[in-house]
Structure 1
Amino acid sequence: MFSKFICLIVILQSFISHAQKVKIACVGNSVTYGYKIENREENCYPTQLQNLLGKQYEVGNFGHSGATMLKNGHKPYWDEKEFTESKAFLPNIVVIHLGLNDQGNNNWPDHKDEFIDDYLDMISAYQNLPTSPKVFICRMSPTFSGHHWFEEGMRESFKEIQSKIENVAKIANVSLIDLHEPLYRYPEYFPDNLHPTKEGAAKIAQKVYSTISKNCGGLKVSRLYGENMVFQRNEPIVVTGVSNLDDEITVVFNTGKQITKPNENGVWKVTFKAMEAGGPYKLKINSKGSNSIEINRVYLGEVWLASGQSNMDFKVHQMASAKAVLKDSINPNVFVFSMNPKVLKSTSFSSEELALCHADNYFEYSGWANSDGDILEKFSAVAYAYACNLQKKLNVPVGIVCNAVGGSPTQSWISRESMEQKHETISLLNDTWFNPLVDAWVSERKFENFAGDKYLKTRHPYDATFLFDSGILPLLNYNFKGVIWYQGESNTNQVDLHSRLFRMLVNDWRIHFNKFDLPFYYVQLSSINRPNWGYFRDEQRKLLSIANTGMAVSLDVGHKTDVHPKQKWGVGERLAKVALAKAYKNNLNFSGPLFDYVNVLDDKLEVVFKYSSGLKTSDGFPVKDLEIADEDKLFVKAQSKIEADKLILWSKEVKTPRYVRYGYSSFSEGNLTNASGLPASTFSNITN
């Protein structure tokens, strides 16, 4: 009798426990169902969500592969048994992720005007259940550019559907879960460009879990926040981070105080009025119901981002005169911060190293430093010289962050949003193995690192968009005055393509940093005996047509065989002159002679320059590496003279000259300069 009584109690407790569970219906298509996921029933996102939420919840998977939201779509979810079963489940919460199958040309063009009404009807169908469930709808998970319909209308349809889903959320007053952004940076989790692997499903589950539980992991701020950090002076100071959805955030900075709450994604932000340079000040962030963050030394000054490849990454301790700099030129008002790649080498990556090749795990953050030590010694030599020269002139704290990655090509630093807009750059996204648009060295390095395995579910650091996702995206909420850039060595095989990519990169960063006049100052490549470097330098000169850019010439400090010349302090100093003149309006000489136009004087050419005052040669000899040609563009060595700050050139072999070029040898001994001593850029008047 007693055992029956115990059994009855256990059954009753089980019944009560089951009755008290919060029931969640995951409504969707193949992504919800878990199509193509290994061990689908264990690894689909609803099951992973169940594991995160625990026993107090019961999660039902009501995904149906191929289903559309559109009632007049090719396979309406409305007609499937899962729709009926999801309602019979009597959920307390409904999560709807539909729309991916509506983007096809067999659905969207003819029925797109019906989408919002159909979505609102589905929300009502669930809200009118006896349990009156809370409904969440989702911004769609990504469709990547490798999908065979991407350029056949799907790209545009996808954007339209996302926009309509956002409108539906506003009209119906339901919460919107963003499944796009957390996954958009991980194409490796979508081997067929549409369906996530179990790792991708885990990110979906985590995002849904955070929304339902309101647990976003507590109070967190950017990894750029820390002791000795620098905020940009004379501009509104934005402090931002993430917290649990129910938290109230109090931010105290200097003498100001702000209180706010996070948005539906757990992101919070406060803005303090612009302040003049100074510090150190205290920054304290408190979260009710969570932890607190306190930083005791925060400065206000000038903040710059240094990026590119190995010549920007070249370390202070490696440069010429490093011992003297480290002994006598340490500037305590310059604060440096390094983002260093965790894996970068010429041999094959181990399994542990391959695991680091993901957008959220590739960089190691150094923290801020302003004194001699390991962080400063291993910081970018060009960036440190730049910051020191700025600080000396401006007399305010200068903070500089460097995230340069040796060998990286331009396309790895551009966002997927930009790369997906044109067929040429889509090719760089979709074909990452020996694509003829990619420099051979870059392709060979990937082949070596991946041991030739084309089937690895991992992106290489040099793949298009990877370094944007891992190295730029985490910085977007930090206010930089501008960017200095030293890169191009890994794009010299495709000069014209680099020009298009560079323009794309500058525009892309300006959009993402929400600074449409963001100063962008770059180093023109130096000299070395490698093909195309003269042509490449001239194309870099032409990029000065981009607004708010500037260029430091390094032709004169190159090396015949070493791609990493060690004269880095002077390069950083030249970049600083550009910034001081352009961004800070200082009246100083910041450029060597810069080609303007050519006059034809019978059998001679007259070259007119900007910044030509005191035009001369650096060694007193005639101008070197100077050539002339007629309409056939067959260049020969030219004779020359300097008159009234103009360059006159001729050759007995060219009777009707039309074209001039200077510094076109890959390793150039060009010696043209002006009164400032700054070298002239490689140039030509060839326009095609």
Structure 2
Amino acid sequence: MKKWSSLLFLCTLVISSPAAIRLPAVLSSNMVLQQQSTVKLWGWSSPGEKIAITTSWNNKTDSVKGTRDANWQVSIQTPAAGGPYTITIWGSNTNTPIVLENVLIGEVWVCSGQSNMEWNYYNKLPDIGAELPTAYNSNIRFFHIPKTTAVYPQDDCAAKWTVCDSNTLKFFSAVGYFFGKKLNKELNVPIGLINSSWGGTPAEVWTPDSKVITDAELKAAAAKQQADARWPITPGYTYNAMIAPLVNYAIAGSIWYQGESNTGTSATYSKLFTTMIDSWRKAWNKEFPFYYVQIAPFKYGTPLIGALLREQQTKAMAHPQTGMVVITDLVEDTSNIHPANKHDVGARLANWALHDTYKKEGIVYKSPMYKSMEVKKGKVYLSFDNAPTGLMAKGKTITEVYVAGSDQQFYPAEAKIENNQLVVWSKQVKEPVAVRYGFTNTAIGNLFGKEGLPVNNFRTDSW
């Protein structure tokens, strides 16, 4: 009896002992907090425990009590970019505070997608190898989330904030790094980069499952994904584990490089992608900017699926506060789905942010886009947006241009630039009705805006 009484006493002691204050992984030393914002600090404690948070940039202390569910949250104001600072968190039931050190205030971006966002030094990217000798930059911080899944939304993840140096850079997204490096240089503020990416994943897994399974079109498309042991295909699984733990953390915006794994169901991609964007914005309670990369030319096994996916990505640009980077000119080998040039991809994403988010002038960031066409005397005259000083061809002749008549048969076309328009014709098509430029899986065109960015591939038909 005495034995059982002692055991009962120990159990009661354990149950009644106050729990230590705990923070989510994203709140840690070396983090970057979004500048000039209301940011949330949160965590777990004993129910009713009084929590005091002191921030060194203003020496102000905020207090909050742990809820009945043993969690707490407080909102604080951040100043303009700067640091390093400390944040000290005390609990009334604990003797030792949590001290977050080397905290910077700046701009925070989420970097997500599949392998072309995930790829790093260990994928033998020459751009990153060249960076290593001079990689150290205390004003660039990384939060790299390991690949994992969950059936339900999680409130924490296994990661930590680190300072950019030759070691931590090796494991981080190359595209994300080059994006952040340019922002840091041009804005002269600390940059926090959160990498949440997984090669091979379709967009469905980055979208809350409720948004996919309650929509007949999206549900049917998701069901066509082929299972693979290397990555998940179930809607919501990476959102739950790799995005949901972040949604309390204030960010400036997100960059995205994905789409290759959705080429088999391209018809619904724009709807899926914009649904995903909206769900993220709702979760963060912020209409943040979302900049993304159009997939590169590649030898897919089925004709046109790459072109159709790129068309869907172009369509998504109509969604508020989005921007797309065209990279057809950055590809050397269309048999490789992973173009090696990540530097220019990251830089082009940064240019979108610098102009649209940070209102920097004089930045070339939009590729020319097909606007309209007119047929006159057997020739098609095409006009473009985002080409203020006109078009140019890199080469003697303009390539990857096709024209068709009402029979819907496309023929290689001749083309020239005239008065800032593209003029297209073919002796085989007397009465043209449609033009396509670069509208194949592997096309690498040579038509550019005079500002230097490639013209987006397009078709004027819907056949």
User: What TM-score, normalized by structure 1, do the two folds share?
Assistant: 0.62
Partner SS, residue 321 of structure 1: helix
Root mean square deviation of aligned Cα: 2.9
**Cα distance between partner residues in 1 of 2:115 and 2:16:** 43
> Counterpart of 2:101?
296
Offset at 1:639? 1.0
Per the alignment, residue 576 of structure 1 pairs with 350
1:370 maps onto 2:370 in alignment = no
1:513 positional shift:
1.0
In structure 2, the CA distance between the partners of 1:273 and 1:365, relative to structure 1 (3 Å rule), is closer
Residue 576 of structure 1 and its aligned partner are, at CA, apart by 0.5
Provide the rounded CA distance (Å) in 2 between the counterparts of 1:640 and 1:501.
36
Check if 1:248 corresponds to 2:50: yes
Contact 2:141–2:163 under 8 Å retained in 1: yes
Q: Deviations over 1:295-321 (max 9, x none)?
A: 121111110000000000010453223
Structure ranking higher in helix proportion: 1
Residue in 2 that maps onto 1:33: none
Letter in 2 for 1:539: Q
User: Match of 1:541?
Assistant: 314
Match of residue 278 from structure 2:
507
1:613 to partner: Cα distance: 3.0
TM-score using structure 2 length: 0.90
Distance apart, 1:593 and its partner CA? 1.2
- 1:103-161 deviation per Cα after TM superposition (whole angstroms, max 9, x unaligned): xxxxxxxxxxxxxxxxxxxxxxxxxxxxxxxxxxxxxxxxxxxxxxxxxxxxxxxxxxx
What residue is the counterpart of 2:387 in the other structure? 612
* Match status 1:526 vs 2:296: yes
Report the number of matched residues. 453
Task: Decide whether the 8 Å contact of 1:320 with 1:568 is kept in 2.
Answer: no
After superposition, give the CA deviation of every residue in 1:353-382 in whole Å (9 maximum; x if it has no partner). xxx999769964243222221x21111000
The answer on whether the counterparts of 1:541 and 1:683 sit within 8 Å (CA) in structure 2 is: no
Cα offset, 1:426, TM superposition:
4.3
Alignment of 1:3-14 (within 5 A): none
Structure 1 residues 77-476: aligned runs within 5 Å? 217-254=19-56, 255=58, 256-290=60-94, 292-316=97-121, 318-328=124-134, 330-341=136-147, 364-373=158-167, 375-426=168-219, 435=223, 437-438=224-225, 440=226, 443=227, 445-446=228-229, 461-476=232-247
For the Cα contact (< 8 Å) 2:392–2:417, is it kept in 1? Answer: no
Report if aligned partners of 1:638, 1:650 keep a CA contact under 8 Å in 2: yes
Contact 1:342 / 1:364 at 8 angstroms: preserved in 2?
Answer: no
User: 1:342–1:363: 8 Å Cα contact kept in structure 2?
Assistant: no
Answer whether contact 1:628 1:651 (CA < 8 A) is retained.
Answer: yes
Distance 2:210 2:250 in 1: 21
Distance 2:321 2:372 in 1: 21
Partner of 2:415: 640
Q: Distance in 2 between matches of 1:377 and 1:329?
A: 10
Of the three residues 564, 580, 583, the one matched with 2:338 is 564
Q: Which amino acid aligns with 1:523?
A: V
Measured against aligned partners, the alpha-carbon deviations of 1:554-603 in whole angstroms (never above 9, x if no partner) come to: 11222221111111101100111111111111111112212222223242
Between 420-429 and 390-399, the greater mean CA deviation after superposition: 420-429
- 1:257 to 1:52, Cα distance in 2 relative to 1, 3 A: farther
Q: Secondary structure at the match of 1:386?
A: helix
Stretch moving more, 236-245 or 464-473? 236-245
- Alpha-carbon distance in 2 for matches of 1:427, 1:585: 41
Unaligned runs of 5+ in 2: none
What is the rounded CA distance, in whole Å, between the counterparts of 1:330 and 1:490 in structure 2?
A: 34
Report the CA distance shift for 1:293/1:539 in structure 2 as closer, same or farther (over 3 A): same
- Conserved? CA contact 2:64–2:73, under 8 Å: yes
Q: Closer, same or farther in 2 for the Cα pair 1:645/1:246, shift >3 Å?
A: same
Query: Is residue 134–residue 166 contact of structure 2 (8 Å, CA) maintained in 1?
Result: no
C-alpha displacement at 1:421, in angstroms?
2.4
1:590 matches 2:396:
no
Q: Is the 8 A contact 2:372 2:382 kept in 1?
A: yes
CA–CA separation in structure 2 for the residues paired with 1:322 and 1:505: 30
Q: 1:264 to 1:604 in 2, by over 3 A?
A: farther
Contact kept, 8 Å, 1:316 with 1:381, in 2: the verdict is yes
Range moving further from structure 2, 658-667 or 294-303: 658-667
Counterpart position of 2:324: 551
Is the 1:334–1:387 contact (alpha carbons within 8 Å) kept by the matching residues of 2?
Answer: yes
Q: Distance between the aligned counterparts of 1:313 and 1:409, measured in 2?
A: 14
Task: Considering Cα pairs closer than 8 Å and 6+ residues apart, tell me whether 1 or 2 has the greater RCO.
Answer: 2
- Comparing 232-241 with 572-581, greater Cα deviation is found at 232-241
Q: Is the 8 A contact 1:618 1:677 kept in 2?
A: no
| 1:265/1:627 CA distance change after superposition, 3 Å | farther
| Stretches of 4+ aligned residues off by more than 4 angstroms | 51-56, 213-217, 356-364, 426-429
SS of the residue 1:580 aligns to: helix
Check conservation: 1:615, 1:672, Cα contact below 8 A. no
CA distance in 2, matches of 1:361, 1:285: 19
User: % of aligned pairs identical?
Assistant: 29
Describe the shift of the 1:342–1:644 C-alpha distance in structure 2 as closer, same or farther (beyond 3 A): same
Which residue identity lines up with residue 383 of structure 1 in the other structure? G
- The CA distance in 1 between the partners of 2:97 and 2:8, in whole Å, is 25
Q: Which has the larger radius of gyration?
A: 1
Unmatched 5+ stretches in structure 1: 1-9, 18-50, 57-208, 344-355, 430-434, 450-459
